[in-house]
Amino acid sequence: MKNLFSLIIALVIVFGFACSNKTTNSEETYQGHKVEVMEVVYANSYTYLSVTENKEEFWIAIPKMVANVGATYYYDGALEMKNFESKDLNRVFETVYFVEKVSEQPPLAAADAPIASPHGDSSHSHGKKNVAIKKEIKVEGVEGSISIGELFGNKENYDAKDVIIRGEIVKVNLGIMNKNWVHIQDGTGTADDFDLTVTTIQENIALGDIVTCKGVITLNKDFGAGYTYNVIMEDAIIKK
């Protein structure tokens, strides 16, 4: 019995040491951002955080959540917006970084799994390139629609034209540059081109909805600050 008890104690010590090392290693290998919250401001759709990182103070905005002053958060990937006006707060931020989500612990394998910014692929001082994840889905089209694979495969034929595409919403970001930003997939496309960004002013949309989008296709759209899209659907009408 004494030997068994000693063995259990030894295992607990080893397990605890392994967990401690795992946390430390995760912290050391994390390539994203570690920030401390100095101020919290709540709006309708977003929580704005004044944070510090390496003695630099700046604002980030995340989908609405409860946050605490003094808390430490980790994030990877952000969209920099200059002179951004929050109508909810009646306030203009000289610079704010829109972040898809934050975590209280450094994400595992963060260097291999960067978090997407609100507008897709981007890189700047507070973010890194987004990597979209292709979902295992299959969404059937409707009369008059084309697939995402068809759009990307023959994009020049659809430039400046109205098209209809049906797909599943895999990401939603509301109220950025007075638009709502939706990413849809239908299961078609190549390993690189399978995720279509759609802008709309509609608000009755949610993650996981199967929707039909009708809008104008624009090629090589540049929103400034390095944010460009090879293909984007703008000002879409979205129906469930």
| Terminal-residue alpha carbon distance, the chain | 65
**Tokens (6 digits) for 222:** 């540049």
Q: Which of 120, 140, 130 is nearest to 227 (CA)?
A: 120
d(CA 183, CA 207): 9
Angle subtended at Cα 208 by Cα 65 and Cα 124, rounded to the nearest 5 degrees: 55
Q: Do domains 33-112 and 148-239 have the same CATH topology?
A: yes
The top-level CATH class assigned to 33-112 is mainly beta
Confidence of residue 23 (pLDDT cuts 50, 70, 90): very low
Query: Rg (Cα) of the chain, in Å, rounded?
Result: 22
The top-level CATH class assigned to 148-239 is mainly beta
**Using one digit for the tens of pLDDT, what is the confidence trace for 176-222?**
777 888 999 999 999 889 999 999 999 888 889 999 999 999 999 88
d(CA 80, CA 234): 21
Per-residue DSSP letter, 155 = G
Confidence of residue 59 (pLDDT cuts 50, 70, 90): very high
Residue in the block written with tokens 């797909």:
167
Q: What is the pLDDT of residue 106?
A: 81
d(CA 71, CA 63): 17
Which of 63-67, 96-100, 170-174, 233-237 comes out lowest in average pLDDT? 170-174
Q: Where are the domains of the chain?
A: 33-112, 148-239
Residue in the block written with tokens 């697939």:
147
d(CA 126, CA 129): 11
Q: What is the pLDDT of residue 79?
A: 82
d(CA 132, CA 194): 9
Return the HEC string of 38-107: EEEEECCCEEEEEEEECCEEEEEEEECCCCCCCCEEEECCCEEEEEEEECCCCEEEEEEEECCCCECCCC
**Using one digit for the tens of pLDDT, what is the confidence trace for 104-131?**
888 654 334 333 344 444 333 444 344 5
